[in-house]
Structure 1
Amino acid sequence: MIALISLVISYTAMGWVNNLFKRIIAGFNSYLDSVSMEVIVGSSTGLMFGILTGVLGSYPLSMLKGVGVYLTLLVFAICVFLGWKVGSRRGGEIVRLIPGMSKRLDVRSPINRLAPKVVDTSAIIDGRIYDVCLSNFLEGCLIIPTFVIEELQHIADSSDNIRRNKGRRGLELLSKMQKHSQIKIDIMDVTDAAILEEREVDAKLIRLCKQLKASIITNDYNLNKVAELQGITVLNINELTNAVKMIVYPGENMHVTVIKEGKENGQGVGYLEDGTMVVVEDAHHQIGKDLEVMVTSVFQTAAGRMIFTRKIKEDSQYSHEHSLQGVPEVNMYG
């Protein structure tokens, strides 16, 4: 009986030790993924320098009787810690002191160092991230966690046709981005238990970004707000699109093609190339025509920007006719 209890306790203890060991390894791997190579080189160099300094500095203290051993250990520990700390904080400067090493590691100053960017599922499905990358507005490497790819696969296997098409489009776009030489993508296999234990993908993304000190690329409104509350930099493609839209002011002229009737009576609706809705007064009967219009007002809504206009030619014709109304008729006899 005692042997059986001992076996159960030993088995339980081994399982606990095994899980603890896995957590330590996963944490160490996550740490290595989150730090740059110059920090690793600097930390190693500082650690070795600290050990050497500790040995040389603590040796005279070892000659003392009584407290000499304790002073030796204390000085050695302090030297090792300071060496590691200075090396990790000044890793870039240490690497730049080594001839040729800075070029091989592509070491840059902290100001110019690019923060990693984690891509959300919504940004991949949206598709515009591909064109944004090709336009050189996004620099550095894009991190695609494996759980994001799994979510795309789950969406692609959905019984709903719309969701299935979105998932497949996202997977195709991701494959297209991987093959493009101008776009740098890192498919990160996340093994950190603290991240994987989260049930929601959004929560996993938040944890990963905080761990990597990365920004997040997303079109998801809720994830955007949660990430901002957590102090994470958010790159929202919808906000980028709104920021680069053409700016118009009341009184400016433009051309627009009326494609449908508006909600109000007499209104015609058209769109600019960037997708901005243009409402034209009294143009419901001119669907399919290209009109020259003048901007009367611009409204910013949650769905986007709306431009209200009126036709120019009819305004000028009306003004001309109105100006002639006050002119008296004169016949040839006076």
Structure 2
Amino acid sequence: MVSRAIFILLSGLAGMVLFLRAENATGAFWLYGFGIGAVTGGLIVVGEYALRTLSFGIIVGATAGLAVGLLMTGLVEWVGGEIFDVQTFLFHIGGLVFLLGFPYLGLVMGARFGQEQIPSSQPRSTDLSGSSNSLKVLDTSVIIDGRVADLCETGFLEGTFFVPQFILHELQHIADSSDSLKRARGRRGLDILNKIQKMADIDVQVVEEDFPNVKEVDAKLVVFAKKKGARIMTNDLNLNKVAELQGVRVLNINELCNALRPVVLPGETIRVFVLKEGKEAGQGVAYLDDGTMIVVDNARRCIGRNVDVVVTSVLQTTAGRMIFTRLKEDAEREELQVARG
């Protein structure tokens, strides 16, 4: 920052010297020169920031165009000085116009040529803080859930995690709730956030940005993610749908867990513990280790026992997966009856 400020100051001094070269320069002309030079230096600093988001082709083309523009400026100034042989204020104003105009035209035309003709080997980023693929916004549900910390520890997640101030306020509000269960969930969320903050590969940024015109927290989250070019991490199915409708990419941890569950095919035999009675008459309900519900036909009598069951069908929904089965002994008995005719 200091070096850029010094560069702008030197640019102002260079502009002042250029104006003072004029034969009739009096009064506040030096101040005009300093101002124009400083503004030019500031624009160059802004351009340096912009270069971080440009492709290799644009940078090469713009550099070549700028060099040609400066060469044309020097040529025009030399020819003008030889022909007219004047050193008036108006002459130096014209020289300054050429000094700014030709390089600018060369810069723009060269950048356009480079963009069209020179292939880029690196993807362009839309955000100064990193690739949009590494930018993620955490919502309240995924922080409280806690599995995001486990994914970060295993190295599956990295990059920058944005936590907007309004999400942090919501977490604090839950942690201060009079309901003991909500209070425990809120404090767990704050602990998880603190745990992620200490991880080396994760950059957690609490952003003091709010949108007063937007009332809903979920709507604010979508607007924030669109502005940052980031993806939303959530377990909220409704937020997932709303964000996708507005063109914001979503990372849903529940969907990831569903994708990682072991595949169970119809006809396969598995051993389960029948835990309770099902909704339909005679049904029993069991669960896999990952929480998948298994419905077992005619297994009410087997509640509290481990039994072998045969998978008949699998129902996959956005909310999860259900496996429908029947007792293996019933299936074998039916097959035997069919074989006997």
- Report TM bin, short chain: 0.5 to 0.7
* Aligned counterparts of 1:176 and 1:151: Cα–Cα separation in 2: 18
Consecutive unaligned residues in structure 1, runs of 5 or more: 1-31, 94-107, 327-334
Kindly provide the CA deviation profile for residues 235-266 of structure 1, in whole angstroms up to 9, marking residues without a partner as x.
11111122122222221100110111111111
User: What is the deviation of 1:53?
Assistant: 5.6
Quick one: distance in 2 between partners of 1:210 and 1:144? 14
Partner Cα distance (1:119, 1:86) in 2? 40
Aligned partners of 1:323, 1:228: CA distance in 2, in Å? 50
Deviation larger for 120-129 or 36-45: 36-45
**Is 2:72 the partner of 1:57?**
yes
Match status 1:149 vs 2:205: no
- Matched to 1:205, the amino acid is L
Query: Is the alpha carbon distance of 1:40 and 1:296 closer, same or farther for their aligned partners in structure 2, counting shifts above 3 Å?
Result: closer
What do you get for the CA RMSD once the two structures are aligned?
Answer: 4.1
1:81-125 deviation digits (Å, cap 9, x = unpaired): 567889999xxx8xxxxxxxxxxxxxx943995431121111111
In structure 2, the partner of 1:184 is: 202
Is the counterpart of residue 110 in structure 1 residue 123 in structure 2?
yes
Asked whether the equivalents of residues 146 and 187 of structure 1 are also in contact (C-alpha less than 8 Å), the reply is no
Pair 1:87–1:131, CA change in 2 (3 A): farther
Matched residues in 2 for 1:143 and 1:88: separation? 32
- The match for 1:228 among 234, 238, 244 is 244
In 1, Cα distance between the equivalents of 2:203 and 2:319? 31
3-state SS of 1:141 partner? strand
Cα separation, 2, equivalents of 1:278 and 1:136? 32
| Cα gap change, 1:255 to 1:45, in 2 (>3 Å) | same
Between the aligned residues of both structures, percent identity stands at 44
TM-score by length of 1: 0.67
> What is the TM-score with the length of structure 2 in the denominator?
0.65
| 1:209–1:216 Cα contact (<8 Å) kept | yes
Identify which range, 234-243 or 59-68, moves more after superposition: 59-68
Match of 2:105 in 1: 78
Matches within 5 A, 1:1-334: 38-39=52-53, 54-62=69-77, 64=80, 72-81=99-108, 109-110=122-123, 114-181=133-200, 183-191=201-209, 195=211, 198-316=214-332
Q: 1:187 to 1:246 in 2, by over 3 A?
A: same
Q: Aligned with 2:312: secondary structure?
A: strand
Mapped partners of 1:249, 1:212: distance in 2? 42
